[in-house]
Every structure is written in C-alpha cells, then in structure tokens.
Amino acid sequence: MIRYDEALHQILETVFSPQPIEMPLLEAAGLVMAAPAVARWDMPRCDNSAMDGFAVAGAPDKPDGQLIIVGASYAGHPFHGEVKSGQAIRITTGAALPKGADTVVPIEDAEEKDALLYLSTKPKAGQHVRYRGEEYLDHEVLIEPGTTLRAGEIALLASAGVERVQVFPRPRVAVISTGDELVELGREPGPGQIINSNLHLLRIRLQESGCTPLCIGIGADDPGTLDQLMDKALGADVIISTGGVSVGEKDHVHSALERRNFTKIFWKVAIKPGKPVLFGMLEGKPYFGLPGNPAATAATFELFVKPALKRLAGETDVLPEKRRAVLTNEIAVGGKRQAFLWCRLEWHESGYRVSVSPQQGSGQNRCLTGANAMLAAPIGVERLEAGEEVEVLLL
C-alpha cells in the first residue's frame, strides 16, 4: 500500500493542464489566466479631480483672494473651456480637469458667494489631482498568466477595456454514484436504503472549486450498469465515482473499469479514512474511484481530487495550504495509517488552535459539519494530547 504523499505525487505526474481557450472576460470568473492581459488605454484616461470642489489655475497665493467661477466640470460632462489665472470652475470627483486647471480646492476649503469663490486656505499646487496614466498605462500588463480571475481582477480588466481573455477552461467533472441502497433526496428511503448524500457533498465542493459538476446518476451494483454510466461520464474532463471500490462482493467498479481501456495508477493508500481509493486513466480521462463512506468520500476528494482539479484548472500551487496549530482536545488517531481528522481551525490571540470532533466515524456525515480543515496525524501515532502542536491542511 502506498503512502499519501506517494499517491499525490503519482496523480500530479499524470494530470496536466489542458490547452487554454479564449472567452469573454465576464464569463471567466474563477478561471486562471493563460496569457497576460494588457491595458487598452491609460488609466485614468485623463487628468481628473479626486475631490468635489473647485478646479483652479495655479495655486492662488492669497487665501482670501477672490476667484471668478466660470463654469463647471461634472463626471461624464467635461467643461470645454479654459480656466485662466483668477478663475475657477466647480468640479466633482472623477470629472476631467479642463485646460489651464491644475489644482483642486475641496468644497470644505472654499466659500462661494455671488459667482465668486473665496478660499479659506492656500492650496498646494497640483493638490487633489489624479493624473492620466497614474494607475496604469496603455499596453501595460495588468494580469500575469497563472492569476485566478476574481472580482478585483475582473473589475480591473473591465476598467481597461479588456473584453476577452485567454484562460484555462473550467474543468467539467462527472460524478457517478454507485450503490443499490442509494436513493435521491426527495424520495423516502425504503428498508435498507439511504439518501445519496455524497453526490451533494461533491457537487457543492466541485462548484466551490470552480468546476462544473455533471451528475451522471446512481449506478446499481453490477458491472453492466456501471459500464453504461461510464459511457455517459466520458464526456467530462474528469470522472469521479463513489462507492464500490473496496473488496466487498458488491464492489464492481474494478470489474467495470477492467472491461474498458483503463490504466490503474494506484489502488489503496495508507490513510484513514479512505483507504480503498482508486486512481487511474479511463480512456485518457483522470478517474477517481472514491470509497463510499461519507467521511472517506470527502477526505479523498480533498486529498487527491482537489489538487488534480487545480492542476487541470491551470493553477500552479496545487497542494493544500498547511498550518501548525495547537490541539485543544486529546484524540485517538489511526496508528498504522496516516489519519486525517475533520477539525475546526481558529486563530486565537497569537496562534492557531485546532479542535477535533471525537466523532470521526468514516460512515458519518456529521463530522464534516463546521470543519474548515483536516488534521494530518503521522503514521504510527496512536494518540494526540491536548496542547500538542499538530499539522493541519486547510480545506
């Protein structure tokens, strides 16, 4: 049986980013840039005011001197004339500075009476002006390849007139649920039946990870049905199945895969939960056979599927972020296999603290609630004591 880090290594040796595509900026939220994005103009596009107030020509030296108000420049409605010495115009934030004007007096520092302006303080020449190109210049690279497009990046590129971007496509991930006992939420489970809860865990984690989930359906525990679902799933970029990968009589995923062009890369990893996890390439597509126990499905998704999805999405940092944290409660751990325990990591005064629910049964969903991390206990450790420093992987 291989170790977690070996298994992860084998996945990352197998899965690569696909060819980039071009698409509208506004559809690219969450995707990773594959080529630099370049500004189409200077920003600001012209010198403009940073305040509501008055634009003047040169800083008048006498604070109590009068200036003649000759017009107004509002955001979106520039003043087309020129401002000469001894003159002022009203101006609003973001409005273009007209010819001749180079200084802005905030509304609070001036008084207006009968079309004349009286300044209460002497302005500094050039104050409260935002200059053309001071944020970025035409043709400047604004976003480098490898950057994930989030709200801030998209707003920046929109401001620069960038309408289309080169990105790595959003991975489409098929989810096959296996098990004669499964029924979908909305149907009352009969004797021996349970709700297909793993589907929803995966569907939502896939969406949160920027992927498009494709729910292929529930496959009964026989190789023929699984074969049909695999046909449907092959339209996706990655295939995940849950259940049926262990050594039970009804675990038919292996035999369904053997009928096809499947290259097994590993089966069984020395982890707890999730030992029977299977990984390989099915007709050129990464295939993850996750064990069906809910906490095992969730753990193997985070440990193995997530890094592969990040790689497919073009991300460069694909490994989970780690933190050192002080354990708040004692807990029994795996021993022979590397244990991953659902836990809650919190910043407390000057460091991280982590609390682990004692209920870590791999057959349960309950331990997943409230968890924002997984505590990784090294192989061979039987117990962890309160106050010990431990390693935690962020979800």
Q: What mask of x and - would describe binding to ligand AMP in positions 170 to 189, judged by CB under 6 A?
A: -------x-x-xx-------
Task: Tell me the closest approach of the beta carbon of residue 237 to ligand AMP, in angstroms.
Answer: 21
243 touches Mg ion (CB under 5 A): yes
Task: Tell me the closest approach of the beta carbon of residue 253 to ligand AMP, in angstroms.
Answer: 8
**112 or 184, CB closer to ligand AMP?**
184
Out of 235, 351, 361, 363, the only residue in the binding site for ligand AMP (CB under 6 A) is 363
Q: How far apart are the first and last CA of the chain?
A: 25
Binders of Mg ion among 267-296, rule CB under 5 A? 292
242 touches ligand AMP (CB under 6 A): yes
179 touches Mg ion (CB under 5 A): yes
Task: Tell me the closest approach of the beta carbon of residue 255 to ligand AMP, in angstroms.
Answer: 14
Q: CA 24, CA 145: separation in Å to the nearest integer?
A: 16
**177 or 360, CB closer to ligand AMP?**
177
Beta carbons within 8 Å of 293's beta carbon, 6+ residues apart: 273, 362, 363
Q: In degrees rounded to 5, what are phi and psi of residue 13? A: -80, -20
232: helix, strand or coil: helix
**95 or 256, CB closer to ligand AMP?**
256
294 touches ligand AMP (CB under 6 A): yes
Helix (H) or strand (E) holding 35: none
Q: Which one, of 209, 215, 393, lies nearest residue 310 by Cα?
A: 209
**Token pair 């499947």: residue:** 262
Q: Which tokens is 387 given?
A: 């106050």
244 touches ligand AMP (CB under 6 A): yes
Q: Which letter does DSSP use for residue 123 in this model?
A: P
**79 or 288, CB closer to ligand AMP?**
288
Q: CA 368, CA 343: separation in Å to the nearest integer?
A: 8
355 touches ligand AMP (CB under 6 A): no
* CB 145 within 8 Å of CB 153: no
**53 or 179, CB closer to Mg ion?**
179
Beta carbons within 8 Å of 20's beta carbon, 6+ residues apart: 34, 35, 166, 167, 168, 169, 314
Q: CA 77, CA 343: separation in Å to the nearest integer?
A: 56
Partner touching 357 among ligand AMP, Mg ion, none, CB below 5 to 8 Å by kind: none
Q: Which amino acid is at 294?
A: P
**230 or 376, CB closer to Mg ion?**
230
In the complex, which residues of this chain contact Mg ion (CB under 5 A)?
179, 243-244, 292
In the complex, which residues of this chain contact ligand AMP (CB under 6 A)?
177, 179, 181-182, 194, 196-199, 242-244, 246, 248, 251, 291-294, 363
